[in-house]
Chains A and B, each alone.
Chain A
Amino acid sequence: MTVRRVMGIETEYGIVVPGDPAANPMVASGDVVNAYARSRGIRPARASWDYADEAPLRDARGFDMGRGQAHPSQLTDVEDPTLANVVLTNGARLYVDHAHPEYSSPEVTTPRDAVTWDRAGELVMREAVERLATVPPGVNLYKNNTDGKGASYGTHENYLMSRATPFASVVKHLTPFFVARQVMCGSGRVGIGVDSRTPGYQIAQRSDFFEVEVGLETTLKRPIINTRDEPHAVADRYRRLHVIIGDANHADVANLLKLGTTSLVLAMVEADALTDDLGVRRPVQTLHEISHDPTLQTKVELADGRRMTAVELLWEFHDRAAAFVEDRSGGEPDPDTAEVLHWWSTVLDRLGRDPMEARREVDWVAKLAVLDGYRERDGMGWDDPRLKAVDLQWSDVRADRGLAHRLAAAGRLEVLVDDDAVRRAVSAPPSDTRAWFRGACLERFPESVVAASWDSVIFDVPGARMLQRVPMLEPLRGTEEAVGDLVRGAPDAASLLRALATVAETPADPQGPDPAP
């Protein structure tokens, strides 16, 4: 029983060309990706994406949506050479998704590593902004999830889980958890309603954009539980739970809790350990109501008739998780699990006493403290554009302009991962997943890797008649421990492929190369 599992965070960044609101965001997003790729010596024509295994229209409930039924924005696997798309040496994917630059973190195994490589993505975006600033007007990027005018863009979490777990159990238990989770993990937003038509402040960036309980869509009729079933791994063994309801975080504690508490609840679902039902009535409406009440007094109505606040509902999940961990670990949880449980109870405790006490740990509280300061000092109403500007500039990726970065630098946010570790993660992959093999191959043999994806690396080596595709369908293989000596010992890609082929029968994996399709 642990928070550890294969996980990752993908973030679409808001993009602005200063002084030119009509600028084409797809072109600007391509500029971001290409500027960063050039700064790292990556040629986008190489190290591109291998789409062979992508199936975004597969539904976890067991059927495929016909391509004719799909909204064009759901077709993420159509290769368009005009869209920039690169794989980084840290194992991440940097590309243009719809009209935003997106950083998809490499696969990690702990919430702490998820925070580290998520923040590495901010440094990637910051580097791109600095490069582009040399040709005015440049481009500014924002790690947020809405423009306050009706558009939203996602920060998605991914969790590898057992295929054996019935999806109905995931829906049953995660729905009430996600309805309440925002009070720990929301990033705060000025404006109520998707287009901010009602002045005010709410807890989460994304909540108003969710309209249904369960579904496949991610860009319209957004569901609390997303059913996209695209495991990027051995499909009869694993499911990738694709969570689209979260906000982008700057506060390390909130980000850690977002991943860690969700992983714990999922572990209880997989173990069938949640025997009672914490289901809430009218989950979509309740999600909105909780987000709209920063006093946290709104009561949730459970299916069994009990009424409690979101904080109290989260305590119900916390207590079950703590008891489960205690029981399964003999009272000695691993450090990652202990850290998540510590912050989970600490943050709930503070939110329950006075939400403002969590301003060092939780984004929406930190932001609200600043906004309330302005309201008090300058007598601003919630419709004052300066408050909206604070809300947006909060997430500017630049160290000097981004208000969250200013607060963190001034010691006003709890920092769990130091800046040096984040800087290393810009170049270095996590050591304990297949991301290590992916990143190390790009670092060592950039001339030979023609494409990569979550579950493959494709090589073009001199003398070979065909491209060589190395499948990586087991996310916990291809680690530094398993193949580090092989990769570092190979003088060139051809030698590496030969060495891999000879150990393909051992569990070291990645499996030996196959001819590419």
Chain B
Amino acid sequence: MPGQEQIRPQRRDGEPDDADAPEPAAAATSAQTSEIDDILDEIDGVLETNAEEFVRGFVQKGGQ
């Protein structure tokens, strides 16, 4: 997949796909689903254990 050349499809007024929900395309293969599952399993292992406290404590002063 990386770097492969693409033939440009019709670009103007492409058919509205997937309505409003930014979900993975309906055509998502089971391979893609298991890829995401693998990522989630990995992230589960390192995600801040108390998400609520972590998010609440992430307070910044504005910068540029």
Q: Residues on A close to B: CB < 8 A? A: 12, 14-16, 18-19, 21, 25, 97-100, 142, 146-154, 156, 201, 218-220, 244, 294-295, 297, 308-309, 311-312, 315, 342, 345-346, 348-350, 352-356, 360, 368-370, 372-374, 376-377, 385-386, 388-390, 392-393, 400-401, 403, 406-407, 410, 412, 414
Q: Give the secondary structure class of A's interface.
A: mixed
Q: Within the complex, what minimum Cβ distance (angstroms) separates A339 from chain B?
A: 10
- Do the beta carbons of B60 and A153 come within 8 Å of each other? yes
- Do the beta carbons of A370 and B59 come within 8 Å of each other? no
- Chain B's closest residue to A401 (CB) is B46
Q: Within the complex, what minimum Cβ distance (angstroms) separates B14 from chain A?
A: 6
- Do the beta carbons of A410 and B39 come within 8 Å of each other? yes
Known: A12-B63, A154-B63, A218-B64. A370 touches B22 (CB 8 A): no
Known: A98-B61, A153-B62. A354 touches B17 (CB 8 A): yes
- Chain A's closest residue to B59 (CB) is A21
Q: Pick the residue among A218, A345, A350, A373 that contacts B39 (CB under 8 A).
A: A373
In the complex, chain B residues 40-57 whose Cβ is within 8 Å of any chain A Cβ = 40, 42-43, 46-48, 51-52, 54-57
- Do the beta carbons of A21 and B57 come within 8 Å of each other? yes
- Do the beta carbons of A372 and B23 come within 8 Å of each other? yes
- Do the beta carbons of B43 and A390 come within 8 Å of each other? yes
Q: Pick the residue among B3, B24, B63 that contacts A99 (CB under 8 A).
A: B63
In the complex, chain B residues 15-53 whose Cβ is within 8 Å of any chain A Cβ = 16-25, 28, 35-37, 39-40, 42-43, 46-48, 51-52
Known: A297-B16, A370-B39, A372-B24. A390 touches B59 (CB 8 A): no
Known: A312-B11, A377-B37, A377-B40. A356 touches B62 (CB 8 A): no
Q: Within the complex, what minimum Cβ distance (angstroms) separates A195 from chain B?
A: 12
Q: Within the complex, what minimum Cβ distance (angstroms) separates B23 from chain A?
A: 6
- Do the beta carbons of A368 and B63 come within 8 Å of each other? no
Q: Pick the residue among A201, A220, A353, A370 that contacts B43 (CB under 8 A).
A: A370
Q: How many residues of B contact A (CB 8 A)?
A: 44
- Do the beta carbons of A360 and B62 come within 8 Å of each other? no
A-B contacts, 30 listed (Cβ < 8 Å): A21-B57, A21-B59, A25-B61, A99-B61, A99-B62, A99-B63, A151-B60, A151-B63, A153-B63, A154-B64, A295-B20, A295-B21, A311-B11, A312-B12, A345-B6, A345-B8, A346-B3, A346-B6, A349-B6, A349-B8, A349-B9, A356-B24, A360-B2, A376-B23, A377-B40, A385-B51, A389-B55, A393-B47, A403-B46, A406-B46
Known: A16-B57, A295-B20. A389 touches B47 (CB 8 A): yes
Q: Pick the residue among A99, A352, A400 that contacts B9 (CB under 8 A).
A: A352
**B25 cross-chain contacts in A, Cβ below 8 A:** 354, 356
Known: A308-B12, A385-B55. A373 touches B63 (CB 8 A): no
CA separation between A342 and B43, bound complex, in Å?
Answer: 32
- Do the beta carbons of B54 and A392 come within 8 Å of each other? yes
- Do the beta carbons of B56 and A355 come within 8 Å of each other? no
**A348 cross-chain contacts in B, Cβ below 8 A:** 11
**A152 cross-chain contacts in B, Cβ below 8 A:** 62-63
- Do the beta carbons of A414 and B2 come within 8 Å of each other? yes
- Do the beta carbons of B37 and A385 come within 8 Å of each other? no
**A25 cross-chain contacts in B, Cβ below 8 A:** 60-61
**A342 cross-chain contacts in B, Cβ below 8 A:** 3
- Do the beta carbons of A151 and B22 come within 8 Å of each other? no
CA separation between A414 and B40, bound complex, in Å?
Answer: 19
Residue of B5, B19, B48, B63 most packed against chain A (CB within 10 A): B63
Q: Within the complex, what minimum Cβ distance (angstroms) separates A492 from chain B?
A: 39
**B8 cross-chain contacts in A, Cβ below 8 A:** 345, 349
- Do the beta carbons of B58 and A148 come within 8 Å of each other? yes
**B36 cross-chain contacts in A, Cβ below 8 A:** 369-370, 372-373
- A-B pairs, top 4 by smallest CB distance, nearest first, are A153-B63, A99-B61, A389-B51, A154-B64
- Do the beta carbons of A15 and B55 come within 8 Å of each other? no
- Do the beta carbons of B64 and A156 come within 8 Å of each other? yes
Known: A354-B25, A372-B22, A373-B39. A388 touches B61 (CB 8 A): no
CA separation between A308 and B46, bound complex, in Å?
Answer: 41
Q: Within the complex, what minimum Cβ distance (angstroms) separates A229 from chain B?
A: 16
CA separation between A353 and B47, bound complex, in Å?
Answer: 32
**B54 cross-chain contacts in A, Cβ below 8 A:** 385, 389, 392-393
Extra pairs beyond A218-B64, A352-B11, A389-B54 (5, CB < 8 Å):
A19-B57, A98-B64, A152-B62, A295-B19, A392-B58
- Do the beta carbons of B63 and A219 come within 8 Å of each other? yes
CA separation between A392 and B62, bound complex, in Å?
Answer: 16
Q: Within the complex, what minimum Cβ distance (angstroms) separates A220 from chain B?
A: 8
**A18 cross-chain contacts in B, Cβ below 8 A:** 57
**A97 cross-chain contacts in B, Cβ below 8 A:** 63-64
- Do the beta carbons of A390 and B47 come within 8 Å of each other? yes
**B16 cross-chain contacts in A, Cβ below 8 A:** 295, 297
**A311 cross-chain contacts in B, Cβ below 8 A:** 11
CA separation between A377 and B38, bound complex, in Å?
Answer: 12
- Do the beta carbons of B60 and A99 come within 8 Å of each other? yes
Known: A354-B17, A370-B36. A219 touches B62 (CB 8 A): yes
- Do the beta carbons of B22 and A153 come within 8 Å of each other? no
CA separation between A388 and B61, bound complex, in Å?
Answer: 18
